[in-house]
Amino acid sequence: MTTLSPARILVIDDTAENLQVVCTILRGASYAVSVARSGLQGLDIAQRTPPDLILLDLVMPGMDGFEACRQLKANPALRETPVIFLTASHEAGDVLKGFEVGAVDYVTKPFNAAELLSRVQTHVQLRATRLKLSTLARQLARYLSPQVHEMIFSGEREVRRETHRRPLTVFFSDIVGFTTRTEAMGDAELATWLNDYLDEMAQVAQRHGGTLDKFIGDSVMVFFGDPGSSGVEEDARRCLRMACDMLAAARRRKTEIRIGIHSGECVVGNFGSEEQVNYTIIGTVVNVAARLQAASQPGRILLTESTRNLLGTEIVCDHHGLVNLRGITQPVTTFWASPPSSPPADPSP
């Protein structure tokens, strides 16, 4: 069974008698205590060994408690560390100023042991809870695209079943020769290689602001236009830039991928049950983009006319003609986003 380390409290006070009283109370409650006799010394100790909570005297020579608190909160590593002021002042202005510079509470002198321990315990527990929630949020974020995670945890979007229609640009990619690679590699080796590949593709998508919808085996699905949009034309251009970067990243891994991109109106939102939902998109546009990827060629990007029209005249595309896509009734007018490049990489490991 793991034994939890005692919470570490830093006490900053220039008066030896105060330090002795506070340290006796805290150590009697099994806290680990560090002491500092000035604001500067306290800042140095906090930076070297970040505490779980700081008890900070308000009136000290040189750097007073207000300034020490400001500097503590200016340090990203200490910003979330709770600060409780130790003060003999009952002036409402001093108390208010303490909260304004970042303190979470205050204790008045002379110290009441029960009150001091109660306030310390409350804020130590609150900090531990915040850290736990932050860790859980980071773990949950890995199941969501960064954009969706940010909107949910900022309170901008509720997690409920709801959908809306949006003009989107949808991207699909697939690894060429993946079956051959699968047969040549062991399961563990393949899993490691695939996870590394998908991680790099996800980083490229995030860098360009794409919403990573899902991984489907070795396929990657990304869309632009929701939950945020730069405008339909710029969304399409960002998608194409992302596609080019993904081609280059795959090639550096001696891998070729096929890419299809299509633009149009989709239904986007949270689909599922009352207990579990999935943020995704549905509609003919999605199906066309997926089929377009299958009709593309190794190391190339196949676009529909709707996407081509959004890119603007400065981006040169080669007309490819009508293509019959499986499951799509009408032939689709297509364009190559780039001319043929170097010969495809050997898909074998």
Strand partners, 215: 220
Closest CA to 333 of 322, 320, 318, 319: 322
Residues 168 and 265 in one domain: yes
Q: Which range has the worst mean pLDDT, 160-164, 288-292, 339-343?
A: 339-343
Residues 182 and 211 in one domain: yes
In a domain, residue 220? The reply is yes
pLDDT at position 11, please? 96
Closest CA to 36 of 65, 7, 2: 65
Band the pLDDT of 344: cuts 50, 70, 90.
very low
In a domain, residue 341? The reply is no
Question: Last residue of a domain, which of 99, 115, 141?
Answer: 141
Closest CA to 201 of 159, 168, 173: 173
Residues 136 and 268 in one domain: no
Residues 174 and 59 in one domain: no
Residue 215 phi/psi, 5° resolution? -105, 130
Cα 217 to Cα 207: distance, rounded to the nearest angstrom: 22
* 156 Rama class: left (phi>0) / alpha (psi -120 to 50) / beta: alpha
Look-up: residue for tokens 């990243």?
249
Instruction: Report the number of distinct structural domains present in the chain.
Output: 2
Looking at residue 16, which CATH number applies to its domain?
3.40.50.2300
Q: Would you say residue 342 has pLDDT above 90?
A: no
Identity of the residue numbered 147: Q
Buried b (16+ CB within 10 A) or exposed e, 299-315: bbbbbbebbbebbeeee
Band the pLDDT of 180: cuts 50, 70, 90.
confident
Residues 64 and 180 in one domain: no
Residues 123 and 169 in one domain: no
| CB 106, CB 84: distance < 8 Å | yes
Residues 168 and 132 in one domain: no
Residues 291 and 196 in one domain: yes
Cα 225 to Cα 69: distance, rounded to the nearest angstrom: 43
pLDDT at position 275, please? 72
Which pLDDT tens digit goes with each residue over 255-305?
Answer: 999 999 999 999 987 777 777 777 788 889 999 999 999 999 999 999 999
Residue 68 sits in which domain range? 8-141
The H or E element spanning position 211 is strand 211-216
Cα 27 to Cα 2: distance, rounded to the nearest angstrom: 22
Cis peptide before 110 (omega within 30 of 0): yes
In a domain, residue 316? The reply is yes
H helices within the chain, ranges in order?
16-28, 39-48, 65-74, 92-100, 113-141, 146-153, 178-184, 187-207, 232-252, 284-295, 305-311
In a domain, residue 2? The reply is no
pLDDT at position 101, please? 92
Looking at residue 188, which CATH number applies to its domain?
3.30.70.1230
| CB 338, CB 300: distance < 8 Å | yes
Q: Would you say residue 3 has pLDDT above 80?
A: no
pLDDT at position 157, please? 61
The token pair that represents 53 in the structure block? 């909570």
The H or E element spanning position 32 is strand 32-36
Mean pLDDT of 12-25: 93
In a domain, residue 150? The reply is no
Buried b (16+ CB within 10 A) or exposed e, 228-261: eeeebebbbbbbbbbbbbbbebbbeeebbbbbbb
Which pLDDT tens digit goes with each residue over 216-247?
Answer: 889 999 999 988 899 999 999 999 999 999 99
Could you tell me the CA-to-CA distances from 213 to 54, 145, 146, 153, 321 in Å, in that order? 43, 7, 11, 18, 29
pLDDT at position 153, please? 59
Residues 128 and 180 in one domain: no
Which pLDDT tens digit goes with each residue over 34-74?
Answer: 999 999 999 999 999 999 999 999 989 889 999 999 999 99
In a domain, residue 146? The reply is no
Residues 94 and 183 in one domain: no
Cα 256 to Cα 347: distance, rounded to the nearest angstrom: 7
No. of helices (H) and no. of strands (E), the chain:
11, 13
Question: Last residue of a domain, which of 114, 141, 168?
Answer: 141
The strand pair at 83-87 and 53-57 is best described as parallel
Residues 167 and 127 in one domain: no
Residues 206 and 324 in one domain: yes
Which pTM does this prediction carry? 0.62
Question: Last residue of a domain, which of 141, 170, 187?
Answer: 141
Band the pLDDT of 335: cuts 50, 70, 90.
very high
